[in-house]
Amino acid sequence: MVRHFRKDAPGFLLRTHEQYGDVAFLRLGGQDVYLLSHPEYIRDVLVTHQSNFTKSRVLQRSKKLLGEGLLTSEGQLHLRQRRMIQPAFHREKLRGYATAMTDWAVRTRDRWQAGQVVDMSEEMARLTLGIVGQTLFSANVEEDAPEVGRALSAILEMFNLVMLPYSELLEKLPLPFMRRFNEARDTLDRIVYRIIGERRASGEDTGDLLSMLLMARDEEDDGAMSDEQVRNEALTLFLAGHETTANALTWSWYLLSQHPEIAARMRAEIGTEPPGFEDLPRLKYVEMVLAEALRLYPPAWAIGRKAIGPYKIGDRYECDPGSIMLMSPYVMHRDAKYFPKPERFDPDRWLPENVAQRPKFSYVPFGGGTRVCIGERFAWMEGVLLLATIAQRWSPKLVAGHVVRHKALLTLRPEFGMKMVLEPVAGA
Ligand code: HEM
């Protein structure tokens, strides 16, 4: 079983759901795991009974890099941090980030050449890294950008190892990737702490996320964050906000390349001027395309929780404390009960009248409840602006013969990258 899980975990979970229904019991890595694939059961864990759960192993293990950041902390500390960081995602802040997003997309589309072959996953990673770097660290990081980029890539590579059984043991060995990981972490720390020091010294509010973190005061105890907390949160946002969005965009380009009629319909909506914050409400079809790509290829393909006390799933199945509840957006999004002909790429599923017919928790690319993705609105905005800005100029086509297969590491990404030829849009 573990072999199948390792080879293609999302596919294995989907087959398990199809065979056993809304609740399936698995023994994985020596633990009792319940695969929950019913919108009500997912809501129960993420919302109604959330206080009976903590994050499961993978995220706990991320603490090695992220410390007690938003993604990894629990209980009161998490609530406090969430309260302090939330304002960084308020409407007025998002408006500012929108400009940076479109600017970066314009820079990318200007750099590309007709007929050039690119690996779209690398291109999108570079783009979203630039954006998160700029909105998080402003211009300060520009000089350090190549170093930051290299350090983050090394860390992501290493990060995926935490998915492996026995990775706790691997970490203790003097292996080259562990050395690279430690070096990368030290590089990032050096840069982040330097920027924190400079900002604290100048007292300047540059309007970016880092300023928000430094200036944040808890409304209840009026305390500020320590440098270490700011570092943890900055790295968390950097990592959580970069790969996920890059993957969502890469899959969107792939799906658009396979459905020229949908790409044409999207192009009819986007106009020719780079879009801004005010254009978002009219970019409805672009948003539907992104929603549908996130349905078929949710970057966060699994969400896990560990039961603190005993737990009863839907008044039927008694689970022991310590049991893992595994909820897979990938599985849920491919259930024909909620998404007929689930394999079909059909953005019209996201017309309001169709959405109204489905239970809310049948679609969970950003999770739900108190731990719902804090960057959800940032990600929607970034996805829509980047797709629209680039599609005004380019119509990327999959390179003939390139094999596309998903690989589920920390995020769901294309195993062999996404080789695409850049075709200019007629008349652009
Ligand atoms: C398409 C893009 C994205 C997807 C699919 C995604 C998905 C998710 C999911 C499913 C969770 C919940 C995990 C759980 O409950 O265990 C989460 C949490 C989180 N995400 Fe995202 N995310 C995306 C983009 C972003 C961005 C752009 C940022 C920041 C700029 C971000 C920051 C975070 C943080 C900090 C958390 C932890 C929140 C908490 O526990 O309070 N994410 N994300």
pLDDT digits (tens, 9 = 90+) for 381-403: 999 999 999 999 999 999 999 99
In a domain, 52, yes or no: no
Q: How far apart are CA 181 and CA 172, in angstroms?
A: 12
Alpha carbon dihedral 32, 38, 40, 41, in 10-degree steps, equals 0
Q: How confident is the model at residue 152 (pLDDT cuts 50, 70, 90)?
A: confident
pLDDT score of 66: 79
36 Cα: distance to centroid of ligand 1 (angstroms): 20
Tell me which DSSP letter residue 275 carries: P
In a domain, 428, yes or no: no
Q: In what order do the strands lie in the sheet with 117-119?
A: 117-119, 419-421, 397-398
Total of domains in the chain: 1
Q: How far apart are CA 413 and CA 408, in angstroms?
A: 6
Q: How far apart are CA 133 and CA 139, in angstroms?
A: 9
Q: How far apart are CA 47 and CA 35, in angstroms?
A: 17
In a domain, 37, yes or no: no
- Ligand 1 pocket check: which of 373, 376, 386 to mutate, most ligand atoms within 8 Å of Cβ? 373
Higher pLDDT, 19 or 125: 19
End-to-end CA distance of the chain: 52
In a domain, 177, yes or no: yes
Dump pLDDT digits (tens) for 201-251: 888 887 778 888 888 777 677 778 888 988 888 888 888 888 899 999 999
62 Cα: distance to centroid of ligand 1 (angstroms): 14
In a domain, 310, yes or no: no
What burial letters (b/e) apply to 148-177, b meaning 16+ CB within 10 Å?
A: bbebbebbbebbbbbbeeeeeeebeeeeee
Asked if residues 132 and 379 have their Cβ atoms less than 8 Å apart, the reply is no
Residue 303 half-sphere exposure toward CB, CA atoms < 13 A = 29
Asked if residues 371 and 236 have their Cβ atoms less than 8 Å apart, the reply is no
Lowest mean pLDDT among 72-81, 114-123, 285-294, 397-406: 72-81
Q: Ligand 1 in contact with 371 (CB < 6 A)?
A: yes
Triad 332, 263, 105: Cα angle to 5°: 90
pLDDT score of 134: 83
Q: How confident is the model at residue 140 (pLDDT cuts 50, 70, 90)?
A: very low
What burial letters (b/e) apply to 36-60, b meaning 16+ CB within 10 Å?
A: bbbbebbbbbbeebbebbebbbebe
Q: Ligand 1 in contact with 236 (CB < 6 A)?
A: yes
Which residue has the CA at smallest separation from atom 6 of ligand 1?
A: 366
Q: Which domain holds residue 94?
A: 68-298+333-360+370-421
CATH of the domain at 342: 1.10.630.10
Pick left, alpha or beta for residue 301 (phi over 0 → left; psi -120 to 50 → alpha; otherwise beta).
alpha
Asked if residues 338 and 358 have their Cβ atoms less than 8 Å apart, the reply is yes
Q: Ligand 1 in contact with 101 (CB < 6 A)?
A: no
Dihedral of alpha carbons 73, 213, 192, 134, sign? positive
In a domain, 392, yes or no: yes
426 Cα: distance to centroid of ligand 1 (angstroms): 37
What ligand 1 atom has the least distance to the C-alpha of 233? 35
In a domain, 304, yes or no: no
Q: How far apart are CA 134 and CA 209, in angstroms?
A: 9
Residue 292's closest CA among 337, 245, 343, 336? 343
What does the block give as tokens for 23?
């609740």
Secondary element (H or E) of residue 157: helix 145-159
In a domain, 385, yes or no: yes
Which residue has the CA at smallest separation from atom 43 of ligand 1?
A: 373
Q: How confident is the model at residue 409 (pLDDT cuts 50, 70, 90)?
A: confident
Please say if the pLDDT value at position 57 is more than 70: no
Please say if the pLDDT value at position 355 is more than 80: yes
